[in-house]
Structures are given as C-alpha cells and as structure tokens.
Amino acid sequence: MKKVRFLCMALVSAMMLGGCSEENLMDGSDEQTKTPVDSGDGVYFTVNFDMPSVQGGRSVTTKPGDGPSSSNNGVEIGQGFENTVKSALVVLAKKSDHSFIAAAQMADNTLDDVSGNKSSYVVKSKISKADLQSFYDAAGGTLVEDANTVYIYVFANPSEQLTDMFGTSAVPADWYDKVLTYSDNMSGENNFLMSNALLAERAIPRTLNDWDSYKTQDNPFDLSGYNRDVAIDNSKNNSRGSIKIERSVARFDFRDGSEDGKTDADLNGIGNFTYQVVLDTDNKPVIDIVLEKMAVINMNKTFYALRRVSDDGRPTNPSYLGIGLSEKPWGATLAGNYVVDADYRWKDGVSDNTTDFADHFEYPLFSSAGTVNKDVWDATVCSSLVKDGNEDNDDSWNNGGLGQYYRWRYVTENVIASSGNFNYSDQKNGISTGVVFKGRMVADAKYEESNDKDLKEIAKTVNKTDAEAGDSFKAPILYMFAGQLYMGWEQVRAAAIAAAVPKWEHNLNDPNDSADDTWTPAVTPIRNDRLYVAVFGEGGGFGTVDVVWKDPDTGTEHKFKYEDKDLPYKADCADAAAQAWINADRPATGDLLDTFREKVVGADITIYQRSLDASSNTWGYYCYYYYWNRHNDNLKPSTMGPMEFAVVRNNVYKLAVTKISRLGHPRISENDPKKPTPDTKDETDDIYFTVTNEILPWVVRVNNIEF
C-alpha cells in the first residue's frame, strides 16, 4: 500500500452508522494496519473522535446540529462490532474551499478505546513538518486570524479506494466528491466505514515553528482540546472537542408485527407472521396471509464517502458546498434540506424502458424492460430471522408488548432530489429503496368442512401444498375483483350474472310437462354493475348460460339454462377470452393465454395462480407486497413530502408489518391489473399494507407498515 502523505495523529472516534447487506460484508485489508509512521523532523498531535450522542411516534428528522440529525423516535447505541474502529484516515483541508492540505492513516495499534464501549477513541501520532511547509508558505509563513482554522475529516475503517486516493502524489482537487461502491468496505463486523457526521473546524498553530512545542509524544498538539503553549482551544468549551463520525450505511431491523406475534406466549418469541385478510359475510376470517420471505429491492450501488446535503438534492448547489452539514427537518413551516445521492444524475432522467436498473442497483425491482424481475432478489425467511437472528439488544424498542426487533441487514444511502426533471412528488418505484414481502394464502382448516360449498372449495384448494393439485395452469385459479375472491372463472361469471339479475321467476308453461318450464328475470337486468361490465363488457349480453340460482326465501337451489336475448354477447369481452382459453384445456403458452390475461386483467380482475416455492418445496397461492422505505413521514397518506421516501446513512429503520387488509400483487406480473412500473409513485391513494419503521447514534425511525 502507498504511504499516506503527511499525518499521523491521535484521535478519539465514536460512531453510530449503518452497514451493508450480510451477503456482501467486506473483510478489511491486512495492509491497513501496516501503514508506516512518517519519520524525520516531526511533531505530534492528537485528535478525539466519537459517535454523536443524540436524544429521542412519527419518524421525522429533528435536532439538526445537535450531533448528527436524529429523529423524534430517538437513537440506538448500536452493537460493539458496529462501533469498532480498527484504523483511521484523517484529512486536513482548507476552510476556504475544502482543498486538500495533508492526510495520515492510523492503524489499530495507535487507537485506544477510552470510552469502554467502543464509542470514543484516542490516537497519538507524528506529522512531518515538511508536509506542512507548502501550506504555511502559501500564507506568507504566518496564518492570520481565522486562517489557522482548518477542516478535519475522519474516515474510520477506510476502504482501499480512500487510502489509495490519499496515497497518490497528487490528491484530486475534488477529493471530497469521492464516490464509493457498496463493496468497498461498506460494512463488516468490526469494520464499518465511517466519516464525519458534522463539519469539524479546528485551529492549528499560526506558524510552522509554533509546532516545535509539540515534538514529543508526551506533549502532542491536541486537535480536540486546549493547547497551553500556543493558547489554542480546540476543546468542547470552545464548541469543538471530539470529531463526530457516523456510519456510511443504514440498517434495517425487523420484528413480527402480526397480532399473534405480539401476544401469543406459546410462540416463545417466534411470531407466526399471519394476518387475517379475506373475511366471510359474518366478518369471520376465511383467508389469511402468512408472510414467509422478505428481500431488499433497489439498493444503491454507490454512495458518497462524505455525507452531503443541499437545498435541492444536487451537490453543485451554488449557495453552499454542503459537505459535512446536518440534515434539517421538513415540516409545515420548516424548510429542510436534502441529503444528496451519489447517483442523482441518472435518477433525474430514468423512466420506463430506458435503462438497465442492474447497472445502478443491487437487487433491482425492474428489468431493463420495466418489468418486475424476481430472479435477483436475495430473500430472507421471516421466521428464520426471528428464530435464529440477532436481537437489537435495545429494550427501548421492544416495550409495550410489540415484540423483539432483530437486526436484519445493512443498506446503502438512496435519496431522490427535487431538481431537474424531479421533485419530491416524483419519488417512485423505479428508483426508491424498498422491501418486498412474499406472502402465502392459507385458510382456517374448519372451512374445509364448511356447509358452504364455495368456502369449502376455496379452503381445500389454497391449503394444498403438494404437487398433486396441479401446476400454475391446471390447478384452480383464484380471481379477485373489488375485494371479492372467486374460485374459478365460473364463479366470476355466475356472480356477474347474479349482479345483473338478482331474482328469477319460474314459469310453468305446461303443468303436465316440466321440461317446458322456463326461467326469466324477475326484474330488468342491471347491465351497469361493475362486475358485470368487467366480465361481459359495456353494453354486452351474457349469451346462453347455465344458471344456478338459490331462492333466498326457501333456500332451494335451482339449475336451468337461460338465453339472454336482450343484448348480443360481445366476442371481445373478458368472458369470451376466458372461455376460449379454458375450453382449450388452459394452455401454458400461446395466443389464447395472452388474450385471456390481456382481457381479464384489462377488466381490473386480478388472477392468482398456484406456484411452487422452490426453496421450501411448497406449492401454494403466493402474492407480493411492496414497501417503500419511509425516512421523513409527513403523515399524509396520499401526498408525498420532501425526503419522505429515502434511505439515509446512520439510520436504523425498524420495520414491522402490522396490518394486511387485502391480497397482494400476484406472483406473475402479467396477472396484475395494478402491477408496479418504474414510474409508479411511492405513495398513492391505494394503500394496502402497513409497515413500522424506526430510525438511532444510530438514528432510529420506527415504520409500521400496513398493506
């Protein structure tokens, strides 16, 4: 590894920042602990750095400038391995323009944990006076009032990209714009990358010769304390003190938010992730959803080495550079700011079918064609996380019988700007980070013995988990329209006819010949019912059909054939397409299948086909729920606010699905009339699930998710 120019220092570092996914944990380079200390005519100094300590429900940003930004949910101390500093890189920069002065790297053998909880570190190191020469020469040998104030930047557990950049003979002028990829030591046990949480101004001696007072290890210049020999106060009493640093990633925690997961003592802390979704006419649960898996989607591949903010989300904001400044809150009367995304230029121009999302995201939701791509997700089994996962060890988030949170994974920063082609109302599915949940339909076993044949058929069908019940095309198909679930197309068709003709009359044309009896509508058919129009089309008749009508007065079931002569049957309606596909024995490919899906889904009818979950070897009826991570909730369910949907470094987002009120998106996107697209807004009027989100030093945000 190249020798870093100039500094070796003592520092105190405390950190509270989030990390990368467990599947991409990076090992620190052994060379990072072997950087040689500069020799020659040198002077010594120390720097303290620590994790900011902030105080802490709605998850909104609060307390800018009091440590890093926090949320009103509070903070979380973090795990020891999330706070460990094994090496550090310290950069001195000019206050006027952030231009580089010098840098030095410290190995773990020069770092002392002085806090007892790995939140504060001290290191003592030596600087070569020769490396400071050009800075003092440019000032004429003496730094005037305030010109001796410089910016101090600290990178704890720096990645190889960072150490290599500062090891070059010419550090780039725009070094502060350095963009890292998630694989560059984003997070790892005892090896989290951290950097400044706040802009750190510190004073240094006025002349190069003034450094001579600090040429021994016993009397180093203190960048975080008072220096008697030169009367420079860098202590907390002068609003300076330790350098505040934060982790460069966020963390997602998760708990079982289902009712049984909260209260059932027999679960022994292992929730069942089951939610009552489809109810019968007596408001009793018929179909439940069991959340089986979850996966992060649209995780940024890149992030800034130093956190940045601006008033419009662009790093080139003319009013201020925005490096190392705090995130400010947004509110009804508050004008906050935006955290800047390293990939903001691409996001400013992305739209349907125009880009390869995999170039910019890990686990992208969409393919380059704008269709949902399930093959790239890295799924976690919900029950396994709760059973075998790592508790967050902070009881303040587990009170009130809500259940235990578990650390899930680390995620990169992802924020949508408000400038260019975008504003905050354009936070959308193609570019926001979220979580996809996979749910399986299950029925209460008692309905398998129900006297209601429809309920009995549905219950038996959804509960079959072996292959004998048929594949996606031969097994019974479920249809959902306007919140009603139907088993098979015949049920959909019959319900549409019943909606148009609620009552029938039996005509005894010949008392001696029952074969001559006829049935006719007792009322004028209602042709504008939503389901009727969806099935038979606007202005269409239902042709010749087999009718099963149950007399509500006697309970007697009547079966007869009826020919609708009032309106012609429309050959291009959803029913015609469904009948053609079914009569052809439901082929798995071809024009009939394509037309069936086009017409049925185009009529706003959702199709749920049985499928096999390969990892569990379980057949069933599955659906997906998409959650877009909330950072700064404006409490307006159908109106997006600035920085509402985002992932910001050093935040812990505590997630729990607390309610599911409807079936989710079908596994096959072509079966979905409301399938997400890259341009689908993150917040719409159609709210169908609930997530709980919490953020801490980690900043904590609690997000309760409702679908």
Per-position DSSP letters for 532-567, written without gaps between them? HHHHH-TT-B--EEEEEEE-TTT--EEEEEEE--SS
Pick the residue with more confidence: 671 or 96? 671
Pick the residue with more confidence: 704 or 215? 215
Residue 96: the pLDDT is 86
Q: What is the mean pLDDT of residues 202-208?
A: 92
Examine the pLDDT at 228 and tell me if it is beyond 70. yes
Q: What is the mean pLDDT of residues 373-391?
A: 85
Assigned token pair, 89:
């890189």
Confidence of residue 266 (pLDDT cuts 50, 70, 90): very low
Q: Which residues pair with 414 in a beta bridge?
A: 647
Residue 365: the pLDDT is 95
User: What is the C-alpha to C-alpha distance for residues 607 and 105, in angstroms, rounded to an integer?
Assistant: 59
Confidence of residue 512 (pLDDT cuts 50, 70, 90): low
User: Residue 502: CA atoms inside 13 Å, Cβ hemisphere, count?
Assistant: 6
**285-307 residue pLDDT tens:** 788 999 999 999 999 999 999 98
Residue 133: the pLDDT is 85
Q: What is the mean pLDDT of residues 693-704?
A: 56
Report the sign of the C-alpha dihedral through residues 523, 528, 531, 533, in that order.
positive
Question: 250-297+367-462+620-707, what's its fold?
Answer: Immunoglobulin-like (2.60.40)
Examine the pLDDT at 167 and tell me if it is beyond 50. yes
* Most distant CA atoms of the chain, gap in Å: 125
Residue 30: the pLDDT is 30
Phi, psi of 5 (to 5 degrees): -70, 130
**634-654 residue pLDDT tens:** 888 778 888 899 999 999 999
Among 150-164, 379-393, 492-506, the least confident range:
379-393
> Mean pLDDT for the chain?
80
Output the DSSP codes for 211-257.
GGGG-STTS-EETTSEETTTTEE-SGGGT--SEEEEESBEEEEE---
**Nearest one of 601, 600, 602, 608 to 472, comparing CA atoms:** 608
Examine the pLDDT at 34 and tell me if it is beyond 60. no
Residue 119: the pLDDT is 67
Q: What is the mean pLDDT of residues 349-359?
A: 71
User: What is the C-alpha to C-alpha distance for residues 462 and 441, in angstroms, rounded to an integer?
Assistant: 6
Examine the pLDDT at 318 and tell me if it is beyond 80. no
Sketch the domain layout of the chain as residue ranges.
22-248, 250-297+367-462+620-707, 476-608
Examine the pLDDT at 268 and tell me if it is beyond 90. no
Examine the pLDDT at 265 and tell me if it is beyond 60. no
Residue 574: the pLDDT is 98
Secondary structure of 377-402 as H, E, C letters: CCCEEHHHHHHHCEECCCHHHCCCCC
Pick the residue with more confidence: 531 or 616? 531
- DSSP 8-state secondary structure symbol assigned to residue 64: T
Examine the pLDDT at 64 and tell me if it is beyond 80. no
Single pTM value for the model: 0.86
